[in-house]
Structure 1
Amino acid sequence: MDNTKGTPLTAVVGLSLVFSAVAVGVSLSISSMLGKAYVRDEVQKVLAQIEEEKITSQVEANLKPWSLAHKQTIDGRHIYGSPEAEFTLVEFSDLECGFCKRLHETPKMLVEQAKGKINWEWHHFPLQFHDPAATTGAEAAECVGEIAGNQAFWAFTGQWFTQSKMNGQGVENIGSIARMVGAEEKAFTECLNSGKYQQLVKKQIEKGIELGVTGTPGTFVVDNTTGNRLLVKGAQPPQAFLQAVEQLVKMREKTPSQESIPAEVDMPVGESQ
């Protein structure tokens, strides 16, 4: 046979079959790759959804114990309990203070048992020997309050006390705590890095010193009907605060002291959120 006259039919058919097989193989390989990518994407979506639901559930669980806090601040004040309460526990506190941690549940319990007659107001008083963690915590709490509201602010203080090693050692991941009480992490990080609450924290420290606070916790029990106040120093038991309330009631019959001020007067506060 003269091979110059053309390619044998069998060779053409053979090559065709080879190319077809290769094409099918490539097609199957691409389909397999696309299929795996699709499955991987779907799995990632499901995992992300599960994680989101987990975080949402955790946020709800962390906020629930602080249900008496208004969702937003009132005139920039962080208040737990009724804004119209007869008495206010104005606490100057440090998030890195062990005694503050010990006290934390006491005013909360008093407010919850007082049926609207007592509320609790937080003011920052980070001690220098607990810095930078204490001041960072104070500013972080304000950022949480700005982003996620007053209830989240209170939940953040509770979570900080739970997770911090105390005495200036701080927490491992501030952003994680913020997220677990409802603050969007990117917005929180931007707020904290901006330093926008440095002056507020500084002013609250100065006010505490002006009022006679020398250590933490320092809690003024304030009669909102007269403006009289009594300072309860340290992590005292509930009875100490109730005795202060009783004494303030008796003082109503006397002329208010010149030192007296209502809880809401001249106290440095943040912007209403």
Structure 2
Amino acid sequence: MKGNQLLISMLSIISIGLIVFNIYFYSELSSLQAAHESSSKTHLSHHDIIQAVDDRLASLKKRNAKAVLSRLEEQFQLANETTPDNRLIYGNPNAKITLQEYGDIECPYCRKMHGVIKQVVHHSQGVINWEFKHFPLGIHNPVAAVEGQAIECIKASYNNRIAWIALDKFMMDTRGNGQGINDVPEYVRSFGLNGSLIGNCLASDDHQDKINQDYQDGQRLGISATPAVRIIDNTNAKTYLLGGYKTSEQLLQAIQRITWGG
């Protein structure tokens, strides 16, 4: 009985959605036809009407995506628009502690730890910041490297805050393990970015040197898997390297170890 009620409710919602769309579609047709008749006293061709409606719908979709980006920016105020040395930093750039993560967007454990690090930074009241370094694993390439490049393209084309929004969304929406996100330029359009701009940047191979440099830096530290977090005390340059997924409690214990010797 409950299943039937659920089905009826779903069908009702779908029907209402179709009715709303039809009302919008036909109102667009009517307004376009009226505007044309008032100016030229001639009728639009069927093709012209459909094209005009498609343009209106595309414009509406673009406005909605811009609204999504505006709401996301409000949620990422901890990420400054600019950062020292153009680093990918979330949180106070002058924080006492830096959690320098070497991550792979395609890595499921990086995805799991992404929210953990973010929570630690949010609760630190400016004491801890988070720097993301690209470490695309061979088993996840070429997708992981391309996604890392896309983040750097977004940072260069927009700013650090928008790059963090994109990094967060990529982490959450990728299918993972090298499967990636279908059509990156179209995907970034969904949250208000210029897909053509990012697509051209990817095609030009810009920022590949940055990805390679991050990867080589990680290798010199002895990193071979992700996630890996290098905890840096910026007051005395002491560091501590953690490998693998860690809980917020484990991260805080490690921070105490290098700051207070606990």
**TM-score in terms of structure 2 length:** 0.78
Identify the match of residue 141 of structure 2 among 119, 127, 131. 131
Equivalent positions of 1:177-188 (< 5 A) are 177-188=187-198
Structure-2 residue corresponding to 1:260: none
| Partners of 1:223 and 1:248 within 8 A in 2 | yes
Structure-1 residue corresponding to 2:105: 95
- State the number of aligned residues: 223
State the alpha-carbon separation in 1 of the partners of residues 58 and 136 from structure 2: 38
C-alpha RMSD of matched pairs (Å): 2.2
Whose helix fraction is larger, Structure 1's or Structure 2's? Answer: 2
Q: Report the CA distance between 1:204 and its aligned residue.
A: 0.8
Q: Structure 2 counterpart of 1:54, which letter?
A: N
State the alpha-carbon separation in 1 of the partners of residues 77 and 257 from structure 2: 29
For the residue of structure 1 that corresponds to 2:257, the secondary structure is: helix
Identify the match of residue 118 of structure 1 among 115, 124, 128. 128
Structure-1 residue corresponding to 2:158: 148
Post-superposition Cα deviations, 1:172-223, rounded to whole Å, max 9, x if no partner, equal 1211332244431221111111101111111111110101212100001110
State the alpha-carbon separation in 1 of the partners of residues 99 and 43 from structure 2: 64
Q: Does 1:86 align with 2:89?
A: no
Post-superposition Cα deviations, 1:41-69, rounded to whole Å, max 9, x if no partner, equal 76455434322221111222333332210
Identify the match of residue 106 of structure 1 among 92, 107, 116. 116
- Structure 2 CA distance for partners of 1:41 and 1:177, relative to 1, 3 Å: closer
Structure-2 residue corresponding to 1:17: none
Structure-1 residue corresponding to 2:223: 213
Q: Structure 1 counterpart of 2:208, which letter?
A: Q
Q: Report the CA distance between 1:160 and its aligned residue.
A: 1.1
Greater displacement, 85-94 / 192-201: 192-201
Q: Report the CA distance between 1:146 and its aligned residue.
A: 1.0
| Partners of 2:184 and 2:199 within 8 A in 1 | no
Q: Structure 1 counterpart of 2:100, which letter?
A: V
Structure-2 residue corresponding to 1:175: 185
| Partners of 1:87 and 1:223 within 8 A in 2 | yes
- Structure 2 CA distance for partners of 1:223 and 1:47, relative to 1, 3 Å: same
| Partners of 1:126 and 1:138 within 8 A in 2 | yes
| Partners of 1:139 and 1:197 within 8 A in 2 | yes
Equivalent positions of 1:227-238 (< 5 A) are 227-238=237-248
Structure-1 residue corresponding to 2:68: 58
State the alpha-carbon separation in 2 of the partners of residues 177 and 155 from structure 1: 13
Where in structure 1 are there 5+ consecutive unaligned residues? 1-29, 253-273
**Residue identity (%):** 29
**TM-score in terms of structure 1 length:** 0.75
Between structure 1 and structure 2, the one with the greater Rg is 1
Q: Does 1:223 align with 2:233?
A: yes
| Partners of 2:67 and 2:192 within 8 A in 1 | no
Q: Report the CA distance between 1:40 and its aligned residue.
A: 6.0
Q: Report the CA distance between 1:34 and its aligned residue.
A: 4.5
